[in-house]
């Protein structure tokens, strides 16, 4: 997993959060409050809604973040991670990013690409 995680707080504007996603070339941005994971936003969803003008001006991350975040624990197996990614996904595909949480604190993030890189 990646342990140097770029995060955001919930009070910033979605436009700024999207800029952060693009600047760091990341596909999801965990939302934290004192190291605790309280939500997540994805570049795909935020970009889609911004382009289609679906947010009112001044919308904050808090208003649009996913709060029921699918996570795994550092002790979980890769097999478990894959299953969670498949179950948490939609018809358009699996979850591409999975935050790793220990005692409610965000300690890492793992992507589908990371898994392919390790397994094969």
Question: Residues in contact with its own copies, total (CB under 8 A)?
Answer: 33
Q: How far is the CB of 33 from its own copies (least distance, A)?
A: 26
* End-to-end Cα distance, the chain: 16
Residue partners of 107: CB distance under 8 A and separation at least 6: 1, 3, 74, 100, 101
Site string for its own copies, 21-50 (x = CB under 8 A): xxx-x-x---------------xxx-xx-x
DSSP state of 98: E
Query: How many whole angstroms separate alpha carbon 50 and alpha carbon 26?
Result: 17
**80 lies in the binding site for its own copies (CB under 8 A):** no
**77 lies in the binding site for its own copies (CB under 8 A):** no
In the complex, the residues that contact its own copies under the rule CB under 8 A are: 18-19, 21-23, 25, 27, 43-45, 47-48, 50-52, 79, 82-83, 85-86, 89, 92-94, 96, 111-117, 120
């Amino acid at each position: 997993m990646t342990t140097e995680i770029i995060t955001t707080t919930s009070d910033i504007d979605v436009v700024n959060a999207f800029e952060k996603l693009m600047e760091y070339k990341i596909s999801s941005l965990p939302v934290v409050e004192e190291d605790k994971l309280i939500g997540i936003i994805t570049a795909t969803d935020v970009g889609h809604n911004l382009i289609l003008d679906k947010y009112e001006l001044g919308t904050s991350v808090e208003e649009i973040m996913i709060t029921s975040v699918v996570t795994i624990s550092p002790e979980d197996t890769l097999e478990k991670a894959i299953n969670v990614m498949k179950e948490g996904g939609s018809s358009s595909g699996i979850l591409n990013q999975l935050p790793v949480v220990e005692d409610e604190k965000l300690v890492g993030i793992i992507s589908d690409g990371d898994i392919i890189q390790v397994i094969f």
